[in-house]
Structure 1
Amino acid sequence: MQAKGRVIILMMDSFGIGGAEDAASFGDEGANTFLHIAENYKNLKVPNLKKLGLLEAAKASCGKAAPTDEAAAPDFDLPSKYGYMEEVSKGKDTSSGHWEMAGVPVTFNWGYFKPEYPSFPADLIEDICKEAGIKGILGNKAASGTVIINELGEEHIKTGLPICYTSADSVFQIAAHEKYFGLDNLYRLCETAFKHLKPYNIARVIARPFEGEKAGEFKRTKNRHDYSVKPPAKTVLDYMKDEGGQVISVGKISDIFAAQGITRAVKASGLKELWDVTLDEVKSAPKGSIVFTNFVDFDMTWGHRRDIKGYAEGLEYFDSRLKELAALLQEDDIVFITADHGCDPSYKGSDHTREHVPVIMFGKNVKPGFIGARESFSDIAATIADYFKLKPFDKAKSFL
């Protein structure tokens, strides 16, 4: 490994910039997260992202310019490369998007549960309940997490039965009250469920702890934990770790990769805290390190809940903090801004949307220019491998 500088990856969970070529096969024809936010939220202020090339990348992706505030001025001036990426993985889920950008596309089909009640096979639930020593479950359907805890939270407190639900993703989610059910009990139950779900090829079991005393007051806590299957091959994170480099994950990155290739995992939740922690880690990260942050609110809080205003305000806040990161960059550092899929808040339903995602790379010594359409998210992994002189990825192309 050549430890010339640091790599910082800012992963804007769900920030699509135009429908993918195969969007129609996913039922997502016409989805465009960024464009529709910009059209529905007047005078969107993202001057730093604009300066870095986001608007040009988005226009190249979909053929239409996103309207933003023309008067807003950027806070810094660093050279950047910019374009958009197409996903080759078969799914539009979190795991597939992250693994692909780390060099390992998902070429197999995940397992999924049916959306209507009962979503889960009876023998699966029986096996989980028997081993966990519980009498049954609540929920057993596809649902929004915030909706279902308000629907069933009081019954959960009264009966002690966990709330189990799924979504359009390959997931089995378990919500339980931190005080009345207990966080450790919830984690143990998720571990039990994860074991029994292996034959179903489900990507993740997600622990969704919450607090509050009655419907309308329940809210999820920051102690979410994802139990993920491991990537099917080594990612660029593994290669970095194997060569003695540091891989620092912020937020849910470590969970998504089942801790593979991670040297330090830092918990954080909420857009502000995720930014605060990311900046703290950049301040102390040595040369030869990757700082990788998932900004989950764009997806979990605004995309899935179809909250255009919240998403737009989140974009403006994200943009406003970029100047702080720019001020911390050392001579050879590079920053990537990208996403793992779309989640158009103006679109029907509440699922992810199959879209192109932005790829922006900036830093003091980045050679600027438009890098066009990348054929796979894995081009990010190839670029990082090229930068650190790690093992290359045969089916991906560096744009260093």
Structure 2
Amino acid sequence: MARAIILVVDGFGLGSAPDAEQFGDVSANTFANLADAYFQEKGVPLNIPNLAALGLVKACEQASSRSFPYKGEAPSKGAYGYAAEISTGKDTPSGHWEMAGVPVLFDWGYFRDKENSFPQDLLEKIYQKTGIPAILGNCHASGTNIIADLGEEHIRTGTPICYTSADSVFQIAAHEEHFGLDNLYKYCEDVREVLEDMNIGRVIARPFVGTNSEDFERTGNRRDYSVLPPAPTVLDKMAEKGNVISVGKIADIFAHQGITEKTKASGLPALIDATISHLESADENSIIFTNLVNFDQDFGHRRDPVGYGEALEYLDVRLEDIYQQLRDDDILFLTSDHGCDPTWQGNDHTREYVPVIAYAKGMPSVPLGERSTFADLGQTIADMFDLEKMAYGKSFLANIRQ
């Protein structure tokens, strides 16, 4: 039996999706726009020979009718295409659940007000549940900016920093030493319970360290408290007969359901190293599912196209290490959960097509074209392991193994 390796390049879009106008994201294009900005800033094109050979550039050109400067060859191996999302939002859980075969066809609850985002009756319930009678923030904010603005007051008062965004999310930042990591997790668990009837997708613990506003930084001890997917995913079905190994925040995104083994790691090198470590040891009949959060967290949301481009170049180099650990029947998949164009206004996700790339040893280059849902990946995984067919998606396994 084979193994499936899924690398989610978090927040990596290939051009505005057909319904992008509904989200204010017409002309967003994470890949093309960051490549243009990278070239303008550094005077040289992105150097991504391995990704280009897999058809990633070609998929973007097909999705958006855009060209951009890059260094690499034409597609020469692997299947390549691009997928639209049918889930109602452009958030992390929706994208991941849909790629696992379960799209989100309902509306999440949101905190839409930019200031005083959390209603007073909700805050009163949180105060009563947690025993802490106040919060700082209560607004839409960038996570790095808000700890710089409010971190010192948080340390002085012991009051947690609570904020949100355009996503269905309640985020809580607290200092690991002054507030305590366990206290932060417990506070998040309490808030998750209070939000049970509001259909909020995630409560996120955002721990940070440092002594003042000039050196505060978030740590790798983030934890996501997600609601359960609305139906069994392909991970649930796989966990009944094989292994599902989570690397990074995958387990949190799926509320730890359908996961048989978990590895936490912080930073792009560590996430890739952990993936390779599992490739070295994982049994046949396994899924290794990795979220490369830093593309979204460190470069997309922070609107840093050059940093994003450098991270892509790093991933391109590390693909060689991953290739070396692939067995003959393994299939490597590269995809994303949404866009996060680092040149776009604001700092939220962008509604875009995402890449659908698949590679197995010795396979030629095969175009997959446009896929109508991220769930095509989940259906392909089900097909690959002879699992019960998913309700959504169309398998492209035959294109890989032709």
Give TM-score, length-normalised by structure 1.
Answer: 0.96
Are 1:193 and 2:195 counterparts?
no
Which residue does the alignment assign to 2:68? 66
Which residue does the alignment assign to 1:390? 387
The within-5 A match list for 1:150-299 is 150-243=148-241, 245-299=242-296
What displacement does 1:367 show?
Answer: 6.0
What displacement does 1:41 show?
Answer: 1.2
CA deviation vs aligned residue, 1:72-108 (integer Å, no higher than 9, x gap): x79xx98311100010000000000000000000000
The one of 335, 339, 345 equivalent to 2:332 is 335
How far apart, in 1, do the equivalents of 2:140 and 2:168 lie?
11
Which residue does the alignment assign to 2:42? none
Tell me the percent identity: 56
Specify the SS of the correspondent of 2:195.
helix
AA aligned to 2:8 is M
The one of 303, 307, 323 equivalent to 2:300 is 303
Are 1:381 and 2:398 counterparts?
no
Which residue does the alignment assign to 1:51? 53
Structure 1 runs not aligned, ≥5 long = none
What displacement does 1:368 show?
Answer: 3.9
Specify the SS of the correspondent of 2:71.
coil
The within-5 A match list for 1:65-214 is 65-70=67-72, 79-214=77-212
Tell whether the 8 Å contact from 1:58 to 1:66 is kept in structure 2 after alignment. Answer: no
AA aligned to 2:221 is N
Which residue does the alignment assign to 1:30? 27
The within-5 A match list for 1:318-333 is 318-333=315-330
Tell whether the 8 Å contact from 2:35 to 2:305 is kept in structure 1 after alignment. Answer: no
Specify the SS of the correspondent of 1:99.
helix
Tell whether the 8 Å contact from 1:385 to 1:391 is kept in structure 2 after alignment. Answer: yes
CA deviation vs aligned residue, 1:37-91 (integer Å, no higher than 9, x gap): 1111121011000001111111110112232025xx79xx983111000100000
Tell whether the 8 Å contact from 2:152 to 2:213 is kept in structure 1 after alignment. Answer: yes
How far apart, in 1, do the equivalents of 2:101 and 2:390 lie?
7
AA aligned to 2:105 is T
Cα 1:288–1:367 change in 2 (3 A) is farther
Specify the SS of the correspondent of 1:113.
coil
How far apart, in 2, do the equivalents of 1:346 and 1:131 lie?
40
Which residue does the alignment assign to 1:10? 7
Specify the SS of the correspondent of 1:59.
helix
What displacement does 1:115 show?
Answer: 3.7
What displacement does 1:219 show?
Answer: 0.6
Specify the SS of the correspondent of 1:176.
strand
Tell whether the 8 Å contact from 1:78 to 1:363 is kept in structure 2 after alignment. Answer: no
Following TM superposition, where does structure 1 have runs of at least 4 consecutive aligned residues deviating by more than 3 angstroms? 365-368
Aligned length: 392
RMSD: 1.3
Structure 2 runs not aligned, ≥5 long = 40-44, 398-402
